[in-house]
Amino acid sequence: MMKITVFGTGYVGTVTGTCFADLGNSVLCMDIDAKKIARLKSGDAIIYEPGLKDLLTRNLAAGRLDFTDDPQRAVEFGDICFVCVGTPPRANGEADLSYVQSVARTIGTHMRGYKLVVNKSTVPVGTYDLVRRAIREAQHNDVKGAPFDVISNPEFLREGAAVRDFQNPDRIVVGTDSERAKDLMSKLYGPITRVSRPILFTTIPSAELIKYASNAMLATRISFMNEISHLCEAVGADIGDVAKGMGLDTRIGNRFLQSGCGYGGSCFPKDVKALAQVLEQHGLTSTLLQAVDHINERQKRSVVLKLKKYLPSLEGKTIALWGLAFKPRTDDVREAPAVTVIEMLKREYANVRAFDPEAVENARRIFGDQVYFAKDAYDALAGADALLILTEWDEFREPDFGRMKELLKQPVVIDGRNIFNPEDVRAAGFTYSGVGR
């Protein structure tokens, strides 16, 4: 059993804290948002993440997990302090490290004995040094020089599968220059390491870079396929077949070859931009990453451009949206294609009726009453001139086409996630447009 403090109770912090508690550790999670803390303490997971609510309830009840907004209590509690706060993009794409620095100062201010500070937030190379300095500067005279280590342990969990990813990670990466830290992390992660899944220990800069480079590679695959999808449309090829044929090559592999209406979320868009910034800061070129980002922005907009082929003027038209979350099984709408699409539709004075199984509340915070948030998928269709599909939730995959046709004013379907078989939809009497097919 280890004593752990987790700073930041967002997607990463809540999942990390709860899962470490479930392994038998004693965990205290701290956030500056007192309202969030009160809800978490009462067993409300706040975010939608499969399996999280059960784990939270179980570990709160077992007394292994607690939440606080008291920074002093938080620092005094854990021997290991995980930093899981946000690193959002600044206007120029650079990562905003002010939340990470703020946690570092909190730790420096209140620490009395040794602390292992583990950075899980996604940060540019060299951030560990910034954190070290911030801790040292904040240490009081009476404990000046008290020992601590700062290490990097990037997080790879995927929203929508975060608990499963924590319990069965593809890899655990730890960047450290301290033997003491290495021992502690080996013990902490021992229960979830396997012979085929050891901890990869690296230098700190390598660990920091592994995270950015991994996300940028995945985003690059998506933008690459989206680029090819336009060519498929131009020459009459099918992006699904192209992806299958490519994926059978073991050097390429079949994952992350889907094209669609663009990637979103709190990671890919921000990490691609931030890595481009890091390259530039080192006098290097970021041509590829700029293109990846550019293609993605274009891809989000392409759904509306397709719609305008059928409805050249959107003024006064009603458009139904299926999907608001940036991907299925999450309620997260940060940088979701749906956000860009709604902004474009509203700029052209269209009415929007939207449905998502989990993300309505988060979308309502952005759009308020500018959007009608439907009770269910069919309610979104009532009187609409077209349907846009923006998130591939399973519950959208096998709809009642007859009922859809009755509800829609015009049977136009723009499938931004290629969830339907074009022949089936057309046979049911719809005008259908997918991506790259």
- Smallest gap from Cβ 43 to ligand NAD, in A, equals 17
Q: Which residues contact 378 (CB under 8 A, 6 or more apart)?
A: 400, 403, 404, 407
What residue number has its CB nearest to ligand NAD? 10
Helix ranges restricted to H, 8-51: 11-22, 34-41
Burial of 149-185, coded b for 16+ CB within 10 Å and e otherwise, reads: bbbbbbbbbebbebbebbeebeebbbbbebeebbebb
Q: Which is nearer to ligand NAD, 102 or 410 (CB)?
A: 102
Q: Which is nearer to ligand NAD, 175 or 240 (CB)?
A: 175
Residue 12 CB coordination number (10 Å) = 25
Backbone φ, ψ for residue 328 (5° rounding): -70, 165
Q: Give CA 14 to chain center in angstroms.
A: 14
Q: Which is nearer to ligand NAD, 76 or 348 (CB)?
A: 76
Residue identified by tokens 């583990």 is: 118
Residue 76 CB coordination number (10 Å) = 16
Could you tell me which residues are beta bridge partners of residue 6? 29, 82
Is 267 one of the annotated active-site residues of the chain?
yes
How far apart, in whole angstroms, are the C-alpha atoms of residue 103 and residue 87? 12
Q: Which is nearer to ligand NAD, 157 or 414 (CB)?
A: 157
* Cα distances (angstroms) measured from residue 150 to each of 99, 108, 128, 387: 16, 12, 6, 50
Residue numbers at the binding site for ligand NAD (CB under 6 A):
7-13, 30-33, 36, 84-87, 99, 102-103, 121-122, 155, 157, 159, 266-267
Q: Which is nearer to ligand NAD, 86 or 411 (CB)?
A: 86
Q: Which is nearer to ligand NAD, 327 or 353 (CB)?
A: 327
Instruction: Show the tokens assigned to 218.
Output: 């995945």
Instruction: Show the tokens assigned to 261.
Output: 């209406």
| Residues noted as catalytic | 267
